[in-house]
Amino acid sequence: MNPEFPYRTRRTIKPHQMDPARDIPREVLLEILEDAHWAPTHGMTQPWRFHVFTGPARERLAGGLQALYDRLTPRSQARPDKREKLRSNTLAAPVVIAVAARVEPGGKITETEEIASTSCAVENLMLSAHQRGVASFWASPPVSYSSAFAEWLGLDASHRALGIIYLGYALPGTKAVSSRVPLAERVVFHRE
């Protein structure tokens, strides 16, 4: 494995494993976002939208997520622990990024392609963060994929909300492990 390419060493670090008192310097955050911005984009549409919440703005986001959870979740399915996690995760990570993709209605680039391109931007973001010693977690609570969340962010109906990324420095002693099934189980070579 080439140490210059951090693909195999990046791991999910959840917000409760991040140091809430250690801010990410603005210049580092801007470098991470700039790296994300260089993702592949069909037709140069650059569909990704990043709404970055830091400092006290995380409190507003936490409240907004909980209010949307209350509005969108049927009472019979509501779980206080899930609702509280929306708040605790948002306040635990020093940087929280809401991700959306813009899809041109009736455009030549399909919604699937725009979402795939935005996902590439997120991967760039997470690899860039990892390379700079910043931990990341891409979360997908149902409320974070809702059109109501996109609207809460101030986006119009051409946008698709795609989750939340938490960024922060891992607490000392944090160990994140992962494994993969053998590659042969996910690849089929066609030779003829």
Q: pLDDT tens, 48-104?
A: 999 999 999 999 999 999 999 999 999 999 999 999 999 999 999 999 999 999 999
- pLDDT tier, 18 (very low <50, low <70, confident <90, very high otherwise): very high
Please tell me the chain's helix, strand, coil percentages from 3-state DSSP, rounded to the nearest 5: 45, 15, 40
Which residue from 151, 160, 165, 154 is spatially nearest to 68, judged by alpha carbons?
Answer: 151
Domains defined for the chain, CATH in brackets: 25-171 (3.40.109.10)
pLDDT at 11: 76
- The sign one gets for the Cα dihedral 102, 103, 108, 109 is positive
- Mean pLDDT over 12-41 rounds to 93
Dihedral of alpha carbons 3, 9, 15, 18, sign: negative
pTM of the model: 0.92
Confidence of residue 1 (pLDDT cuts 50, 70, 90): very low
pLDDT score recorded for residue 8: 66
